[in-house]
Chains A and B, each alone.
Chain A
Amino acid sequence: MSTPLSGPGSATQAPGRGPVGSRAARDHAPITLTGLAGKVLLLGLTAGVAVWAAFPLIDGRKWAGLALLAATTAALFYLYLTRRHIPAKYLVPGTLFLIAFQVFPVLYTASTAFTNFGDGHRGSKDEAIVAIQSSSVTQVPGSAEYALSIATKGDPSTGPLVFLVTDPATGTVSAGDTDGLRRLDAADVTVAPGGKVTAADGYTVLNFGQASARSKEITDLVVPTAGGALRSSGLSRAYEGKAVRAYEVGCDCVRDTGTGQTWTANDEVGAFVAADGERLTQGWKVNVGLSNFTRVLTDETISGPFLGTLIWNFAFAIGSTGGTFLLGMLIALVLHSPRMRGTNLYRLLLVLPYAMPSFAMLLAWRDMFNADFGLINNLFGLDVDWFGQPWTARFAVILVQLWLGYPYMFLVATGALQAIPRELTEATSVDGASPWQSFRAVTLPLLLVALSPLLISSFAYNFNNFNAIYLTTEGAPFPADNPTNGATDLLITYTYRLAFGGQGAEFGFAAAISLFIFAIVAVVSTVSFRRTRKQEEVYS
Chain B
Amino acid sequence: MTTLTGAARTGDTAGRPPATNRNVTGRRRNRWFAQVGWRHLVAVLAVLFSLFPIVFVLSAALNPLGTLSTTELVPTGGVSLGNFGGLFERTAFERWFLNSLLIAGVASFASVFLSALAAYAFSRMRFRGRRVGLLSLLLIQMFPQFLAIVAIYLIFGTITDLWPSIGFNTPWGLLLLYMGGALGVNTWLMKGFFDTLPRELDESATMDGASHAQVFFRIMLPLVAPILAVTGLLAFIGTINEFLMANVFLTSSDSKTLAVGMYGLLQGNERNNNFGIFAAGTLLTAIPTVLVFQLLQRYIVSGLTAGAVKG
Residues of A within 8 A of B (CB): 1, 4-5, 7-8, 11, 14-23, 26, 28-30, 32, 35, 53, 56-57, 60, 62, 86-87, 90-91, 93-95, 97-98, 100-106, 108-109, 112, 327, 330-331, 334-335, 337, 339-361, 363-368, 370, 372-375, 378-379, 403, 407-408, 411-412, 414-416, 419, 450-451, 453-454, 457-458, 460-461, 464, 466-467, 470-471, 492, 495-496, 499-500, 507, 510-511, 514, 517-518, 521-522, 525-526, 529, 535, 538-540
Asked whether B278 lies within 8 Å of A35 as measured between CB atoms, the reply is no
> Is B24 at the interface (CB under 8 A from chain A)?
no
Which B36-89 residues have C-beta < 8 A from chain A?
36, 39-40, 42-43, 46-47, 49-51, 53-54, 56-57, 60, 68-69, 71-73
The smallest beta-carbon distance between A456 and chain B, in angstroms, is: 9
Partner of A450, one of B138, B161, B271, B305: B305
**Chain B residue at smallest Cβ distance from A450:** B305
Q: Which residues of A contact B271 (CB under 8 A)?
A: 367
Q: What residues of B have a CB within 8 angstroms of the CB of A358 in the complex?
A: 241
Name the B residues within 8 Å of A538 (CB-CB): 134, 188, 191-192, 195
Whether the Cβ atoms of B121 and A87 lie closer than 8 Å is yes
User: In the assembly, what is the distance between CA of A7 and CA of B174, in Å?
Assistant: 13
> Which A residues touch B241, using CB under 8 A?
357-359, 467
Instruction: Scan B285-311; emit 1 where CB is below 8 A from any A CB, else 0.
Output: 110011001100100111011010111
Using A353-B54, A454-B309, A525-B142 as known contacts, say yes or no to A7 and B118 having CB atoms under 8 A apart: no
A30-B211, A379-B73, A470-B243 known; 14 new pairs, CB 8 Å cut-off, are A7-B179, A8-B166, A16-B120, A26-B211, A35-B213, A106-B151, A109-B148, A344-B3, A353-B54, A355-B237, A359-B243, A365-B53, A492-B146, A496-B149
Is the C-beta of B144 less than 8 angstroms from some C-beta in chain A? yes
Tell me, yes or no, whether B98 is within 8 Å of chain A by CB.
Answer: no
Residues on A with C-beta less than 8 A from B117 are 15-16, 90-91, 93-94
Question: How far, in angstroms, from A407 to B290 measured CA to CA in the complex?
Answer: 13
A-B contact pairs, 6 of them (CB 8 A): A4-B155, A26-B212, A100-B180, A510-B150, A518-B147, A538-B191
Give the residue name and chain of the B residue nearest to A65 (CB): B162
B21 contacts A by Cβ under 8 Å = no
The CA-CA distance from A354 to B294 in the complex, in Å, is 11
Q: Which of A22, A330, A373, A471 contacts B263 (CB 8 A)?
A: A471
B114 touches A102 (CB 8 A): no
In the complex, what distance in Å separates the CA atom of A489 from the CA atom of B166? 33
How far does the Cβ of A385 sit from chain B's closest Cβ, in whole Å? 16
**Contacting pair B142 A521 (CB below 8 A):** yes
With contacts A29-B211, A339-B35, A353-B54 taken as known, whether A416 is within 8 angstroms of B305 at the C-beta atoms is yes
A352 close to B290 (CB less than 8 A): yes
* Contacting residues, chain A, for B258 (C-beta < 8 A): 357, 359-360
Q: Is the CB of B151 within 8 A of A86?
A: no
Contacts of B286 in A (CB 8 A): 355-357, 360
A-B residue pairs, 4 tightest by C-beta: A342-B6, A101-B180, A105-B148, A373-B69
Q: Mark B164-195, 1 if CB is under 8 A from A, else 0.
A: 00100000100011011111100110011001
Given contacts A15-B117, A357-B241, contact A352 B183 (CB under 8 A): no
**Minimum CB distance partner of A466 in chain B:** B244
Give the shortest distance, in Å, between B183 (CB) and chain A (any CB): 4
How many angstroms between the C-alpha atoms of A56 and B130 in the bound complex?
37
Q: Which residues of B contact A7 (CB under 8 A)?
A: 176, 179
B36 touches A340 (CB 8 A): yes
Task: Give the CA-CA distance A372 to B271 in the complex, in Å.
Answer: 13
The listed residue (A87, A101, A337, A373) touching B39 by CB distance below 8 A is A337
B2 contacts A411, C-beta separation under 8 Å: no
The answer for the CA separation of A330 and B187 in the assembled complex, in Å, is: 31
Q: How far is the CA of A343 from the CA of B237 in the complex (A)?
A: 25
Q: Judging by beta carbons under 8 Å apart, are B39 and A105 in contact?
A: no
Return chain B residues, CB-CB under 8 Å to A361: 53-54, 57, 282
